[in-house]
Structure 1
Amino acid sequence: MLQSIQHFIQKGMQSVSPCLLCSIDRQQHHSLCNDCWEQLPWFKQVVDRHEHSISCAFHYDFPIDRIIQSYKYEQQLHYQNLLAQSLLSLRLARVQAIVPMPISVERLKDRGYNQMLLVAHMMAKQLRIPVWQPVIRQVQHAQKGLSRLERLENIEQQFIIDPTEKRRFRKVLIIDDVVTTGSSIHALSTLLHQLHCTQVYAACIAAAQP
Structure 2
Amino acid sequence: MRSGLISLIEYIFPPRCAFCNEILEAGAPIYICEKCAEKIGYYNNCINYLNLPKELETYCDGMICVGRYSESLKDSLRRFKFKNKPSYYRAFGMLLALKVQNTIQLDDIDLIIPVPLHKNRQKQRGYNQAELVAKHASKQLKVPFADNVLVKISDSKSQSILSRNERFFNLEGLFYVNNAKTIINKNILLIDDIITTGSTVNQCSKVLKQAGAKSIIAGVIATTRNY
CA contact (8 A) 1:29 1:37 kept: no
Matched length: 206
Contact 1:55 1:202 in 2 (8 A): yes
1:60 equivalent in alignment to 2:69: yes
Equivalent runs, 1:175-186 vs 2, <5 Å:
175-186=191-202
Cα offsets for 1:56-104 (capped at 9, x unmatched):
1010011111111111111112211110011112124431111101111
- So what's the TM-score if we normalise by structure 2? 0.78
Return the letter of the residue paired with 1:26. Answer: L
Q: Which amino acid aligns with 1:83?
A: F
Unaligned ranges ≥5, structure 2 = 53-57
Q: Counterpart of 1:74?
A: 83
- Post-superposition, which runs of at least 4 consecutive aligned residues in structure 1 deviate over 6 A? none
- The answer to whether the 8 A contact 2:138-2:144 is kept is yes
Shift in alpha-carbon separation, 1:22–1:119, aligned structure 2, 3 A: closer
Report the Cα offset of residue 181 of structure 1.
0.5
1:1-210 equivalent positions in 2, closer than 5 A: 5=4, 9=7, 13=11, 17=15, 19-24=17-22, 26-27=24-25, 28=28, 30-44=30-44, 45-49=46-50, 50=52, 51=58, 52=60, 53-90=62-99, 91-94=103-106, 95-132=109-146, 133-137=148-152, 138-143=154-159, 144-146=161-163, 148=165, 150-162=166-178, 164=179, 166-169=181-184, 170-209=186-225
What is the root-mean-square deviation in Å for CA atoms of aligned residues? Answer: 2.8
- Do the aligned partners of 1:93 and 1:201 also contact (CA within 8 Å) in 2? no
Per-residue CA distance 1:92-142 (angstroms, 9 max, x = gap): 443111110111112111101111111111111222232223221121224
User: How many angstroms apart in 1 are the aligned matches of 2:21 and 2:162?
Assistant: 40
Give 3-state SS (helix, strand or coil) of 1:200's partner.
Answer: strand
Deviation at 1:21, TM superposition (A): 3.6
- SS at structure 2 position matched to 1:48: coil
What TM-score does the superposition give when structure 1 sets the normalisation length? 0.83
The farther-off stretch of 16-25 and 98-107 is: 16-25
Which amino acid is the alignment partner of residue 129 of structure 1?
V
Give 1:31 deviation, angstroms.
1.6
| Larger strand fraction of residues | 1
Q: Percent identity?
A: 24
